[in-house]
Chains A and B, each alone.
Chain A
């Protein structure tokens, strides 16, 4: 069974731009969660989608948004990028969200 895939793997943007990251969960998994990892703040939960609905949300500003499609694939968008948004963005999938989460390799975003 294929694992969680994330595209792109690396991305360089400039301040003020917006970016969209994509996550394809393991087949059959309906829950997709997003996390931001930085050296200073560690791993922080962004939000979770289940059956195309946002079910949980972390403490991030409204510039961070996401969505989930009917095939469970998910995207997250960051608008008006700031230097501090430079991070590794991780996506994780699970069957229902109440089980073990399987993480993708992440997207490394650099904001210049």
Chain B
């Protein structure tokens, strides 16, 4: 599975847009990019998944450039409750089944 690199931590203020970038230089052709969110003492929660260009759902957007060597998770107008660790994962479910490889994640702190 492709290794990912993300910032260890980020700070933001309520109401701002937060962009977290993930590098995955060795991404394979059939790899998808997935982001999970984790609050303290809870299991991770799926946020969004994409393959290329842009994906948007009710909580976030995922931007993937043409070369797919990086991706950016965008959280619009964050609130205090968005304080959490965000994980970027790259891989294919086709030959890995239920195996997720988590990196160190980005600890996002949202301040009032």
Contact = CB atoms under 8 A, between A and B. Distances in A.
A66 interface: no
Interface residues of B, number: 20
B43 A50 contact: no
B97 A55 contact: yes
A35 B102 CA distance: 10
The interface residues of chain B, by DSSP majority, are classed as: loop
Interface in B41-71: 41-46, 49
A70 interface: no
B97 A103 contact: no
Nearest to A32: B98
A101 interface: yes
Given A42-B104, A100-B49, A33 B42 contact: no
Given A42-B104, A42-B105, A98-B93, A103 B44 contact: yes
